[in-house]
Amino acid sequence: MLRLAGTAGAAAQAVELTPGPSRDSPVFSVKYTGSSKTETTYRATPPNPGGAADLNTAHDRGRASWAITFPGGLSVPSCAGEGQELCAALTGVAGARGKTSASADIDHDHVDGLYDQLDASSRCRLRSRAVPRKGLSARIDVVYDGTKDAFVVTARNPVSEALIMLPAACPDPVDGIDRILSNYATPGFSFAREWGADRWFSAEPVAIPAAAWHASSRIRLRFGPAVAARPPRDCAARFTYERCRTSGSWSGVLTFTAR
């Protein structure tokens, strides 16, 4: 088994190559597994004109997991001669099948600075429901870089459907009022819109030499969040009375196995 160094800037990345017979146009089965966890702590004291400030607190934790395959597989053409066009046309694999899940533990409190009767708490565990096991929107980008004679692999968000089907708030009616969000457990959470789950789950691209694809029986990549995908630790808080800290990690294993 051979190992390639990961691309600079990757948070967690390794490539393992298992040698196999040389083939001109190998076809690979594609499997992607992994899990993630996130945690956000929020505290805010929004002012009340003429009275004491409110106190809003949240401590939310999220988890997700996936074990998916891409039934169509990946066909890797030879890039020699006229094969350059075939390689340039390669985009990767999509249309996954398998198991995905997401959950969130919500723990919120609102202490009203003016009226005790408006104090409220919200605590629950949310789980994604009725997640489809086929036709998932997950994809793996595989594009040819002629300058390096290599195929660049980028894993994308594998749990889109699970996150969409995760209830956005606890079932009690008090959550989501008095300037506190319903859920701070979203992967890659930030108040700034340019962050979020899709960016959080985009791994650092990995370049694998074309020759390695044609001489390997298995290629295994270990992924973690790219440095540029991590949201600001302070959640890009919007107001001076807000304090927020977010953290998390994920790991994935992408395996290409020659058929």
- Concatenated DSSP letters of 188-199: T--SSTT-SHHH
State how far the Cα of 74 lies from the Cα of 93, in Å rounded to an integer.
Answer: 6
Per-residue pLDDT at 197 exceeds 80: yes
Q: What is the pLDDT of residue 83?
A: 76
Over residues 104-125, the mean pLDDT reads 92
Tell me which of 206 and 130 has the higher pLDDT.
206
Residue corresponding to tokens 């949201």: 231
Across 91-105, average pLDDT: 96
Alpha-helical regions (H) of 25-102: 83-89
Element (H, E) at 44: strand 27-44
Amino acid 178: pLDDT: 63
Region 156-178: what's the mean pLDDT?
A: 83
Indicate whether 6 pLDDT > 50. no
Sign of the CA dihedral 141, 145, 27, 21?
negative
Is residue 214 classed as helix, strand or coil in its secondary structure?
helix
pLDDT band of residue 149 (cuts 50, 70, 90) is very high
Among 230, 256, 183, 254, CA closest to 13: 254
* pLDDT score, position 7: 43
